[in-house]
Amino acid sequence: MEMLKLINVTKSFGTNEVLRGVSLSVRRGEIVAVIGPSGSGKSTMLRACVGLERVSGGTIELAGRALVRDGVYVRDREARDICSRTGMVFQHFNLFPHMNVRDNLCLAPVLRGLLDKKAAAERAAELLYKVGLADKADAMPSELSGGQKQRVAIARALMLSPDIMLFDEPTSALDPELTGEVLTVMRGLAADNMTMVIVTHEIAFARDIADRVVFMDGGVIALSGTPAEILEDPPTERLRAFLRTFSRSAQSA
């Protein structure tokens, strides 16, 4: 079954076309890594899938339910409902700074009446254990490192038992020595067969974890294939050039 399906999605800011007909489908349990130069539309595509960007045309379906069909959005209430079956992890974590870690996790499921307080607290404890932060339930976000914050953000998204998890450059705001702990948590999700779409600059991680790698360039999906096809033996000069900038920066770092 397809958990996420985009058909010919377009989006423009004024005269600037950010997405120029993106089609992508992600099966249940599949892990798709999205790579590409900045400005290629990766983040915009991901954000459109949870309604944070409004697309100009095309169709987006989440777990079989259309959020947009041929450029026409469903009603706002339904859109919220569809999108909330999707977990989103942001580059800058976006934890709520005025609540401790437990309340960050419990707020949405309790307010939305999905779990009562006690069940939410138990589920939060489980998920914090899973991301290796069982002892941080009472900590405030300001007391955590970037890697810990991102792990909390992942746990928070998991509280709603999402059908699919979307990651928007989850390690880009982290110091290099902190990316490992976040990637480990994501590997754990992969082992649980979570469906994931990951926009990332971590090429090695993409090769390692993804079932499929998608190369976006200029608002379209330029190439799509297995990690071996895309990363080991890049078929186009554009992709080779893009990958070279990474190996260079990796060497200089």
Q: List binders of another protein among 70-89 (CB under 8 A).
A: 80-81, 83-84, 86-88
In the bound state with another protein, the residue whose beta carbon lies nearer, of 7 and 157, is: 157
The 3-state secondary structure of the chain reads: CEEEEEEEEEEEECCEEEEEEEEEEEECCCEEEEECCCCCCHHHHHHHHCCCCCCCEEEEEECCEEEEECCEECCHHHHHHHHCCEEEECCCCCCCCCCCHHHHHHHHHHHCCCCCHHHHHHHHHHHHHHCCCHHHCCCCHHHCCHHHHHHHHHHHHHCCCCCEEEEECCCCCCCHHHHHHHHHHHHHHHHCCCEEEEECCCHHHHHHHCCEEEEEECCEEEEEECHHHHHHCCCCHHHHHHHHHHHHHHHHC
Which of 8, 17, 39, 52 is close enough to bind another protein by CB under 8 A?
52
In the bound state with another protein, the residue whose beta carbon lies nearer, of 74 and 140, is: 140
State in angstroms the smallest separation of the CB of 81 from another protein: 7
Q: List binders of another protein among 133-192 (CB under 8 A).
A: 140-142, 156-157, 160
In the bound state with another protein, the residue whose beta carbon lies nearer, of 40 and 86, is: 86
In the bound state with another protein, the residue whose beta carbon lies nearer, of 108 and 121, is: 108
Chain contacts with another protein (rule: CB under 8 A): 50-52, 80-81, 83-84, 86-88, 90, 92, 94-98, 107-108, 111-112, 140-142, 156-157, 160
